[in-house]
């Protein structure tokens, strides 16, 4: 069984980007950045359903401050997988940046210093589902820039300045370019959208957050070991369900594969064929999102009754798509 619910006539996002509150100490940010520049940063890499992908072909380098498992060598933005986002060793050396991150009232995912080299122009691209419609935000704090450093976002040129705090809807077409002679460096912070994060936006955006197509994420809700164990099940899922950037509708008629939900350590994991493992985050009422992603897709277990059920959901703003499947209990 599948179903869809949605609302209409919601206010649009007011602009492609907006400056947030507060501002930060540009001098302190630059001093801490300088303390990390003796280390040669690695080229930025992409992240796909197959894992860490190819490096960028232009001079665009990163230093990871938060990454999956706290891996300091990860320059990609990460995504759903077996490990949560954690701090890397570099964050211990920059206490003011840690204060900046601690001030953001939302769960943090990837955090990177991203340096665009002189005389470098990136290609036009989009970051699928990196926007409030899918519960994800990308924030920027410029640290070092020059007049030739420009972000072109949805056709609009932006020249953000050191210490400012910005949101951009990077699900729209954009590119970065630096025709200057110095590096352009930003602190780039990926977050889950929450009411606390919305409060950092100007008043002109509050109607959008109240009534627009925004997906707010719930806080993690701890479970006991006994609560987790009774949910161990096996069930069919569409073969594209774990592909967080995919837009294929949930359907019982789509190709299926067998998923296993089980306790591993102190949390639940979703296992798919081919040794693909996804840590899960409990949101309450036996509903889980994929760790490293938002509530854009979740699964909810109903273990009682003659046949356990699992409800799979994908969300985009107020739109919710559901698919209910029959599950099989696993032996304790």
Burial 196-219 (b: 16+ CB within 10 A, else e): ebbebbeeebeebbeebbbbbbbe
Mean pLDDT, the chain cut into blocks of 10 residues (332 residues total) = 56 98 97 90 79 77 96 94 96 97 98 96 93 98 97 98 98 96 97 98 98 97 95 97 92 96 95 96 98 98 93 97 96 68
Do 94 and 112 form a contact (C-beta atoms < 8 A)?
no
- Asked whether 144 and 113 are in contact (CB, 8 A), the reply is no
Task: Catalogue the long-range contacts made by 304-310 (C-beta closer than 8 Å, 24 or more residues apart).
Answer: 308/233, 308/235, 310/233, 310/235, 310/261
Task: Take residue 58 and report the two structure tokens written for it.
Answer: 């232009």
**What integer pLDDT is reported at residue 50 of this predicted model?**
67
Question: How much is the pLDDT for 237?
Answer: 97
**Do the Cβ atoms of 124 and 174 come closer than 8 Å?**
yes
CA dihedral 119, 123, 124, 128 (to 10 degrees): -120
Residue located via tokens 């520049």: 37
Q: What are phi and psi of 295, to 5 degrees?
A: -80, 15
In the Cβ-directed half-sphere of 316, how many Cα atoms lie within 13 Å? 13
Q: How far is CA 162 from the centre of its chain?
A: 24
Structural tokens at position 19: 């400056």
The whole-number pLDDT of residue 6 equals: 44
What is residue 9's predicted lDDT score, i.e. its pLDDT? 80
Specify the pLDDT at position 112.
Answer: 98
CA dihedral (101, 83, 312, 321) positive or negative = positive
Instruction: Report yes or no: 253 and 243 within 8 Å, Cβ to Cβ.
Output: no
Q: DSSP of 114-180, one letter per residue? A: EEEPTTEEPPPB--TT-SGGGTEEEEEEEEE--TTEEEEETTEEE---TT--EEE-TTS-EEEEE-S
Q: What is the pLDDT of residue 250?
A: 95
Two tokens, residue 67? 């990454």
pLDDT at 8: 56
Q: Is the dihedral of CA 302, 329, 222, 47 positive or negative?
A: negative
Task: Tell me what pLDDT residue 332 has.
Answer: 63
**Which pLDDT value is given to residue 39?**
79
Please tell me the predicted confidence (pLDDT) of residue 7.
47
Phi, psi of 194 (to 5 degrees): -135, 165
Q: How far apart are CA 246 and CA 134, in angstroms?
A: 12
- Domains (ranges, CATH) in the chain? 8-211 (2.60.120.330), 225-329 (2.40.128)
Measured between its terminal Cα atoms, the distance across the chain in Å is 28
The span from the CA of 278 to the CA of 290, in Å, is 6
């Amino acid at each position: 069984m599948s179903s869809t619910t949605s609302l209409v006539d919601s206010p649009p996002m007011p602009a492609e980007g907006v400056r947030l509150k507060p501002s930060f100490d540009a001098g302190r940010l630059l001093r801490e950045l300088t303390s990390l520049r003796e280390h040669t940063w690695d080229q930025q890499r992409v992240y796909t359903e197959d894992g860490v992908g190819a490096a960028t072909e232009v001079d665009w380098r990163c230093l990871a401050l938060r990454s999956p498992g706290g891996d300091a060598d990860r320059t990609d933005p990460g995504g759903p997988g077996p490990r949560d986002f954690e701090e890397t060793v570099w964050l211990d050396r920059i206490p003011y940046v840690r204060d900046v991150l601690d001030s953001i009232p939302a769960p943090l995912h990837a955090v990177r210093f991203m340096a665009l080299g002189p005389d470098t122009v990136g290609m036009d691209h989009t970051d699928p589902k990196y926007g409030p419609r899918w519960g994800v935000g990308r924030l920027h704090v410029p640290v070092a820039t020059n007049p030739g450093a420009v972000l072109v976002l949805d056709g609009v040129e932006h020249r953000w300045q050191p210490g400012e705090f910005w949101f951009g809807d990077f699900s729209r077409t954009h590119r970065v370019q630096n025709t200057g002679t110095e590096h352009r460096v930003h602190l780039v912070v990926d977050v889950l959208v929450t009411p606390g994060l919305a409060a950092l936006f100007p008043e002109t955006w509050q109607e959008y957050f109240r009534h627009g197509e925004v997906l707010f994420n719930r806080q993690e809700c701890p479970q006991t070991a006994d609560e987790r164990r009774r949910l161990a099940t096996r069930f069919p899922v569409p073969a594209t369900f774990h592909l967080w950037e995919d837009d294929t509708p949930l359907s019982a008629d789509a190709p299926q594969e067998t998923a296993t939900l089980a306790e591993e350590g102190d949390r639940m994991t979703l296992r798919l064929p081919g040794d693909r493992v996804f840590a899960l985050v409990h949101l309450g009422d036996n509903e889980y999102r994929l760790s490293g992603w938002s509530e854009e897709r979740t699964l909810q277990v109903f273990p009682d009754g003659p046949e356990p059920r699992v409800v799979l959901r994908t969300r985009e703003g107020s739109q919710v798509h559901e698919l209910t499947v029959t599950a099989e209990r696993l032996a304790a």
